[in-house]
Amino acid sequence: MRDAQRRYLSQRQSAWILLAPFLVTYALFLVYPFFRGIWISLHDWNLLAVAFNPDAMEFIGLRNYERVMWGRNIQWGFSAPLWQGLGVIGLALAVFLRRADRLSRFNAIALGVVSLLLVVLPGFHPGEGGRWYDRRFWPTVGNTLVFVGFTVPGVTIAALLLAAGLNRETRAMGILRTLFFLSQVLSVTVVTLIWQIMFSPRQGLIANITKTFGGTPINWLTDQQFAMAAIVIATIWWSLGIAMILFLAGLQDISKDIYEAAALDNARGARAFWFVTLPNLRRTITLVVVLQIILHFQVFGQSHLMTQGGPNDTTQVLVRYIYQTGFRDSELGRASAMAVFLFVIMGAFSIIQFVIGREKDE
Amino acid sequence: MRHVLLTAAAAATLATGAPGAMAQEVTLGRFFGACENAGTDTTTSVGEPCIIQSIINAADAEIDGVSINTLPTDWGNYYDQIKAAFAGGTPPDVFVMHRHRIPEFAGIGALSELSGDLEAAGIDPSDWSENALEAVSYEGGIYGVPMDFHANLWHVNMGLMEAAGLVDDTGAPILPSSPEELLEHARMVEEATGQDYLAADFAQFPIGVRLVLALMWQQDANIFTEDGTATINTEEAANAVTAITQLFDAGYANPQLNYADSQQAFLNGEAAVLVNGTWVVDFYDAQAADPEVALSNYYAADFPTLFDTGATWADSHMWAIPSTLEGAERDAALRVLAFINDHNIDWARTGHMAVRSSVVESEAYTNLPHRDEYAGTAAIARDTPPSERYGAIQDVLNRELQAIWLTGKPVEDALADAELEVQDQLDR
């Protein structure tokens, strides 16, 4: 009896043992590389040179961050009236709506912070004789924001409409749900290959349709005005699936009673969607939007494989720039500094999601 | 326990190390694209991917005690993969590279110096042409085995040229000798056939850059000096760029075609001239023989001289061994290099120029299709001064030139920006 008792572990001990594999893996493959990345970003670190001579790196503090994000004679002023004007309007709205109690405290703060960033960030510009040390970094950040700005609403709205349309329990709807989800399982190489063929001005489906109607085919991937649109379209097609499934799950959580009650008040179809479905899906929509934002900030393959960042850098995105700096140019320190910047952005959105997730239903 | 493991490992090594029991494996990294079922017949394969893979397969089959494992690599990201492999301590035992990458790799000691071992491995460096030896040399050492010279050619659709009256008595195409004549010829082709005069990849890969570089060299100008000063915002560069943009402005060429589309346009008979490298001569020759392809009369011409001196962009493919490789592995790798060197004539079938004098002088070489048509190319081959930042500099030029012809950026602004950015790269 005493022997048998000795073999039992305390709850705490067994918890640690069960957690250990995860914790070790997590520490080894996520925590350690993360801190090492920050460490590398503080060095002048040539990928190839350090591989042959571990002493070939030099500690330079925050110089990499300065070289990437700052410049000579950078000044602040109202140099981008459009964005900064929008920011001022946003700030005023946040204060006004909060005063009038039309906005929750959280939303007011969120709107305020975004507006403040809009006022402050675009205002930096090189003054007389000045210049950015890295002329490509901020435009690249801008391209990434544009990509996220088009892709996230695109995916969200398309997935929501699809989910609403396919939320019926018939065999046909089941098949269609599977079909729409299928694109999600393809790898980025396959997706970009499919869409490169689709967009080809010579043999592409889109070009053939255009020609049938007597139009001139568009060079989607090499035309400055269409290149970003092309990778946004391919991305929306690719990432519809998960968002659609999340919305379907959300839709099935809405009680039928509410629709019946709404129907008695003559709210059917589009009106029911607007007044019943949307409000009940609020949390799912937030989840989808935040997840998509975090996901699409990391866009790489579409830009790398479809347009090579071109034409003239209009589809150059942050992760591709990090990749090029680290591997093509061997400047690992500089690349790590950019990666830390990307981490801060995505970290901010993760915190937003965390806060919203904890917020009690009003 | 550790002792037991070591003993077991030693026993296993002894057992498998017995004569003839196991071949030395050589890992090989290359670009050129994939070829399934290349076979081992090096004399009949067609196109870069299949010719190189047939040579590798033959080496694997014919060299005693050596087996070759071709690593999966991707053209566009090849050097990134090689660098990552070096950084991870597992570079391929043998890998192909361009001569322009030597400063970057040999400069930090990544490449094995070979001059003392070539003869013993059966490679005769005195058979290499002077330029080939120079191509693989760096600070007094030899860091690779050269495989070819490749350069930009003007691939010509003789059917369209004939219709425009641009063929001389010998049956060769009449090519322009000045930017003005270029525009005039383009007009003649357009009027006679309704087709474009010139096609090239101006939209993605740096073929357009190589075109502009050639036209700068033809005016004895360059994009930077040996001592590291960028010289792009110059009259010569502007002349070179406008020689090309005048074709776009007049509608005689389409800047929006990428590599595949420009090639397709040429094969479809929609452009009289395609600017592309030596690597496609055998492919276009085969296409011209295909009755279903619009291109039927194909000519591979030297890059014409539009300014003072002849010049065309050129580079070299070469094979290297990492400096970390030692002993039996290094010997096996050297034997693979020797095998590739022995098959220089097979590789030349692609259209590339051979590096071995004995091959260049052979009848088999001079009898290769179209070879006599671009015999002048070897003498006008040029490249930018050596730089560790070659890739990044090409990228800057590619972006700014694309900005000119794809987004209408003023030539002067683009050249000024390019000069700034290239100087940044040189200063880093």
CA gap B125, B146 in Å, rounded: 10
Residue B34's identity, in one-letter code, is A
Report the residue of chain A nearest B420, measured CA to CA.
A135
For the residues A206-226, what does the mean pLDDT come to?
Answer: 89
User: Are the beta carbons of B204 and A50 separated by less than 8 Å?
Assistant: no
A143-198 pLDDT, tens digit per residue, is: 999 999 999 999 999 999 999 989 888 899 889 999 989 989 999 999 999 999 99
- The percentage of residues in chain B with a pLDDT greater than 90, rounded to a whole number, is 83
User: ipTM score here?
Assistant: 0.82
Measure in Å the smallest separation between the Cα of B421 and chain A Cα atoms: 8
Angle between the A137-166 and A227-253 helix axes, to the nearest 10 degrees?
40
For the residues A308-330, what does the mean pLDDT come to?
Answer: 92
B237-254 pLDDT, tens digit per residue, is: 999 999 999 999 999 999
B155-164 pLDDT, tens digit per residue, is: 999 999 999 9
Contacts of A135 (CB under 8 A, 6+ apart): B417, B420, B421
User: Are the beta carbons of B399 and A313 separated by less than 8 Å?
Assistant: yes
CA gap A314, A17 in Å, rounded: 51
User: Are the beta carbons of A47 and B83 separated by less than 8 Å?
Assistant: yes
- Strand B66-70 to B298-301 pairing: unpaired
For the residues A307-313, what does the mean pLDDT come to?
Answer: 87
On whether the B23-150+315-373 domain is CATH 3.40.190.10, my answer is: yes
> Six-digit token pair at A331?
């400047």
Average pLDDT, chain A: 90
For the residues B11-35, what does the mean pLDDT come to?
Answer: 72
Interface residue B104 vs chain A (CB under 8 A): yes
Interface residue B266 vs chain A (CB under 8 A): no
User: Are the beta carbons of A48 and B110 separated by less than 8 Å?
Assistant: yes
User: Are the beta carbons of A310 and B399 separated by less than 8 Å?
Assistant: yes
Phi, psi dihedrals of residue B356, rounded to the nearest 5°: -95, 130
For the residues A310-327, what does the mean pLDDT come to?
Answer: 93
What distance lies between CA B301 and its chain's CA centroid? 17
Please give, one letter per residue, the 3-state secondary structure of B173-213. Answer: ECCCCCHHHHHHHHHHHHHHHCCEEEECCCCCCCHHHHHHH
Positive or negative torsion for Cα A152, A153, A154, A159? positive
- Count the helices and strands in chain B (H runs, E runs): 19, 11
Q: For position A6, what pLDDT does the model report? A: 62
Mutate to test the interface with A, among B108, B266, B417, B420 (most CBs of A within 10 A): B108
Higher local confidence (pLDDT), A112 or B338: B338
Q: For position B387, what pLDDT does the model report? A: 87
Ranges of each domain in chain B: 23-150+315-373, 152-313+380-427
Report the residue of chain A nearest B399, measured CA to CA.
A312
> Six-digit token pair at B200?
């090239």
B225 burial type by CB count under 10 A (0-12 exposed, 13-18 middle, 19+ buried): exposed
Whether the per-residue pLDDT at B1 is higher than 60: the answer is no
CA angle centred on A117, ends A113 and A119, rounded to 5°? 115
Whether the per-residue pLDDT at A232 is higher than 60: the answer is yes
CATH topology of domain A140-330: MetI-like fold (1.10.3720)
Phi, psi dihedrals of residue B156, rounded to the nearest 5°: -120, 135
A199 burial type by CB count under 10 A (0-12 exposed, 13-18 middle, 19+ buried): buried
Measure in Å the smallest separation between the Cα of A199 and chain B Cα atoms: 12
Instruction: Choose among A51, A308, A313: nearest Cβ to B204.
Output: A308
Q: For position A266, what pLDDT does the model report? A: 86
For the residues A105-112, what does the mean pLDDT come to?
Answer: 84
Mutate to test the interface with A, among B73, B74, B78, B80 (most CBs of A within 10 A): B80
Which class is domain B152-313+380-427?
Answer: alpha beta
CB B133 within 8 A of CB B163: no
Evaluate whether B23-150+315-373 and B152-313+380-427 have a shared fold: yes
Measure in Å the smallest separation between the Cα of A60 and chain B Cα atoms: 14
CA gap B70, A187 in Å, rounded: 24
Query: Which residues on chain A are in Cβ contact (under 8 Å) with B203?
Result: 219, 221-222, 310-311
Q: How many CB atoms lie within 10 A of CB B209?
A: 22
B247 burial type by CB count under 10 A (0-12 exposed, 13-18 middle, 19+ buried): buried
Query: Which residues on chain B are in Cβ contact (under 8 Å) with A314?
Result: 407
Query: Which residues on chain A are in Cβ contact (under 8 Å) with B80?
Result: 323, 327-328
Q: For position B407, what pLDDT does the model report? A: 86
Whether the per-residue pLDDT at B360 is higher than 90: the answer is yes
Whether the per-residue pLDDT at A1 is higher than 60: the answer is no
Q: Classify residue A118 as left (phi > 0), alpha (psi -120 to 50) or beta.
A: alpha
Q: Collapsing DSSP states into helix, strand and coil, what is residue B369?
A: coil
Contacts of B188 (CB under 8 A, 6+ apart): B164, B165, B166
Q: For position B158, what pLDDT does the model report? A: 97
**Predicted confidence band of residue A80 (pLDDT cuts 50, 70, 90):** confident
B297-340 pLDDT, tens digit per residue, is: 999 999 999 999 999 999 999 999 999 999 999 999 999 999 99
Lowest mean pLDDT among A289-303, B4-18, B29-43: B4-18
Q: Collapsing DSSP states into helix, strand and coil, what is residue A128?
A: strand
Q: For position B272, what pLDDT does the model report? A: 97
Query: Which residues on chain A are in Cβ contact (under 8 Å) with B109?
Result: 52-53
Q: For position B421, what pLDDT does the model report? A: 92
Q: How many CB atoms lie within 10 A of CB B260?
A: 14
Q: For position A359, what pLDDT does the model report? A: 65
Q: For position B306, what pLDDT does the model report? A: 97
User: Are the beta carbons of A219 and B403 separated by less than 8 Å?
Assistant: no
Q: For position B20, what pLDDT does the model report? A: 47
Mutate to test the interface with B, among A330, A331, A334, A336 (most CBs of B within 10 A): A330
How far lies B414's CA from each of A228, A292, A355, B27, B400, in Å? 22, 36, 46, 43, 5
**Predicted confidence band of residue A5 (pLDDT cuts 50, 70, 90):** low
Q: For position B191, what pLDDT does the model report? A: 96
Q: For position A317, what pLDDT does the model report? A: 97
Phi, psi dihedrals of residue A236, rounded to the nearest 5°: -60, -45
CA gap A185, A147 in Å, rounded: 22
Measure in Å the smallest separation between the Cα of A360 and chain B Cα atoms: 48
Measure in Å the smallest separation between the Cα of B390 and chain A Cα atoms: 9
Lowest mean pLDDT among B34-38, B301-305, B344-348: B34-38
B187-235 pLDDT, tens digit per residue, is: 999 999 999 999 999 988 899 999 999 999 999 999 999 889 999 999 9
Instruction: Choose among B80, B84, B108: nearest Cβ to A52.
Output: B108
Please give, one letter per residue, the 3-state secondary structure of B313-344. Answer: EEEEEEEECECCCCHHHHHHHHHHHHHHHHCH
DSSP string, B282-321: HHHHHHHH-TTSS--SEEEEPPP-SSSS--EEEEEEEEE-
Whether the per-residue pLDDT at A7 is higher than 80: the answer is no
Q: For position A86, what pLDDT does the model report? A: 93
Q: For position B348, what pLDDT does the model report? A: 95
Average pLDDT, chain B: 92
For the residues A287-292, what does the mean pLDDT come to?
Answer: 90
Q: For position B8, what pLDDT does the model report? A: 52
Query: Which residues on chain A are in Cβ contact (under 8 Å) with B406?
Result: 222-224, 310-312
User: Are the beta carbons of B402 and A312 separated by less than 8 Å?
Assistant: yes
Contacts of B270 (CB under 8 A, 6+ apart): B195, B196, B199, B294
